[in-house]
Chains A and B, each alone.
Chain A
Amino acid sequence: MRIRYLLLNAYAYGGTVRTVVNQANALAAVGHTVEVVSVRRNRAAPPFGLHPAVRLQPLVDGTEPAAARWARPLEAWLAGRPSGLVAESEGQYGRFSRLSDWRLVRYLRGLDGGVLVTTRPALSLLSARFAPAGVVRIGQEHRYYGHYGADLAREIDARYRRLHAVTVLTAADRETYAARLAGAGVRVEQIPHPLSGGAPRRSRLDRPLILSAGRLTADKGFDTLIRAFADVAADHPEWQLRIYGTGPERDRLRALINERHLYNHVYLMGTTPRLERELAKASVFALAAPQAGCGMALAEAMSHGVPPVGFDCPHGPRELIRDGPSPDGVLVSPPGDAGALGRALRKLVEHPELRREMGKRAAESARRYEPGGIRDRWVALCHALLADPPS
């Protein structure tokens, strides 16, 4: 099978790039012909290691020596002109240009068969417009429909109908896209991101440690988590809360920690290249985003057998945690309620046997996100679309 991933910049750091490279490598490792096509290139080598069989191709190479660019003055002029094809609602509009328009259209029109996976709406919209019949066109969503502005959402509604499939991360988005694209024959599949791979080490769940991770922005609710934990720490002073990540809210969170006199119990840890090692120490993993925005950290924590706690909201922990008769974590309602979150944390802090039961189930549940299984779902989707020749 021949599969191509089209992304904005394979040479940059970022969650999208990392997951695309993981997928490309997993497919190449089992013998598929994989190509990664990057609209831009801003450094010599990509930061994430590619399987040697994966071909990497930039469309606009910003690392070319200036002399090479002067030799083609028309292209140099185009590179400085704003894009006419990409909608201005695209968050990274400034990264596109007339030159990237021209190269993208030439690339897409020149495709012959195989599968094309586009990794952001601007690229999926161009794939829908310019990729020829005979190419299986899959739009891979890395964000949530509800986060797009009205202009971009309108374009998606109108043009994604020419795609063969859209893959989404959450069940809530699967329903949204199915409704938006109803009657167009577009297959909407929910395929989550894979875990980072390797065999996750199981936490012993015996350290008095609650862990959280994410970018320190206001919408992640870390202030709610700190308030919730304050109740627990008052009665269980040996417990700690460690928050991994950096961001604009750091100073405000530190002020809250000081105001509540939690400086011996709550720590802003900054970033670590080895989050998985820290996850494997924790007894509870907590997220407090009151609405969408639950990254891979929660699934990673579950894979280490750490029971997760989070608010019950669309696109959030609800997508990963099964709460009920034999729960693999705790879903807290109403979203944003520090008191309710504190009660859920306290229950896990006070009942080690509950942590062990939930943690065991969490590790089992997280097997859904193992890279091999996710790859097989991609292969099955591509084969099904290739076998049913697209019109």
Chain B
Amino acid sequence: MDGASRGGGMPGAEVEEVWPRGGRILLRLSLVGTGAEGATLVLRVRGAGGAELQVRADGSGHRFEACLPLAPLVAAGGDVDAWVWDLYLVPDGSGGEALRLGKHLDDVRGKKHIFRYPVQHAARTAVEPYFTAKDNLSISCRRGAAGRGAAR
């Protein structure tokens, strides 16, 4: 989903703040175009048949907060050296519809190079949240690397 397809009151999960700090990643989110009693954050490794993680979000209505410890993020890599988690929010009672996390409602285009976050390490793996070219939020994991910036 990109910003253009978000119009007309389509529900979306907007990233407000990203806090990669102290061995976890805290996300502050707002649910737009809809509300919910509760919600679950779903993470999927990009690519066919990728692993999936689920984390219960705190909050209700339009404001949610989810805390991701690094351990399960880095444990799911298996044999590969680098993988990417794509993040979704599934509001309760929505029939399981997964809303891709993104940041589309502000005035900044090209977030990939502007909204940058610190790299954290766990189990010799660099973990770095980042915005994709479509301004969606993903988390990059690289074994033994210093993060996305060093690989470029």
Contact = CB atoms under 8 A, between A and B. Distances in A.
B118 A268 contact: no
A267 B117 CA distance: 11
A264 B18 contact: yes
Nearest to B111: A267
Interface residues of A, number: 10
Contacts of B117: 258, 263
Interface in A268-302: 268-270, 281
Task: Decide if the interface of chain A is mainly helix, strand, loop or mixed.
Answer: mixed
Given A261-B21, A281-B107, A267 B114 contact: yes
A103 interface: no
B113 A264 contact: no
B124 interface: no
Contacts of A281: 107
Contacts of A270: 110, 113-114
A254 interface: yes
Contacts of B17: 264
Task: Decide if the interface of chain B is mainly helix, strand, loop or mixed.
Answer: loop
B48 interface: no
Interface in A216-255: 254
Contacts, number: 23
B115 A267 contact: yes
Most B CB atoms within 10 A — which of A254, A261, A264? A264
Contacts of A267: 108, 114-115
Contacts of B46: none
A268 B114 contact: yes
A258 B21 CA distance: 10
B82 to A, nearest CB: 21
Nearest to A261: B21
B116 interface: yes
B109 to A, nearest CB: 10
Nearest to B117: A263
Nearest to B129: A263
Contacts of A264: 17-19
A267 B116 CA distance: 8
Contacts of B19: 261, 264
Most B CB atoms within 10 A — which of A261, A263, A269, A281? A263
Contact of B114 (A258, A261, A269): A269
A258 B118 contact: yes
A270 B116 CA distance: 13
Interface in B108-139: 108, 110, 113-118
Interface string B95-116: 0000000000001101001111
A258 B19 CA distance: 10
A167 to B, nearest CB: 39
B17 to A, nearest CB: 4
A238 to B, nearest CB: 10
Most B CB atoms within 10 A — which of A254, A258, A270? A258
B107 A263 contact: no
Contacts of B110: 270
Contacts of B116: 254, 263
B137 to A, nearest CB: 13
Nearest to B116: A254
A269 B108 CA distance: 9
Contacts of A258: 117-118
A289 B130 CA distance: 31
Contacts of B118: 258, 263
Interface in B16-35: 17-19, 21
A267 B115 CA distance: 7
Given A263-B115, A264-B17, A270-B113, 18 more contacts: A254-B116, A258-B117, A258-B118, A261-B21, A263-B18, A263-B116, A263-B117, A263-B118, A264-B18, A264-B19, A267-B108, A267-B114, A267-B115, A268-B114, A269-B108, A269-B114, A270-B110, A270-B114
23 contacts: A254-B116, A258-B117, A258-B118, A261-B19, A261-B21, A263-B18, A263-B115, A263-B116, A263-B117, A263-B118, A264-B17, A264-B18, A264-B19, A267-B108, A267-B114, A267-B115, A268-B114, A269-B108, A269-B114, A270-B110, A270-B113, A270-B114, A281-B107
Question: Shortest 3 CB-CB distances between A and B: which pairs?
Answer: A258-B118, A264-B17, A263-B117
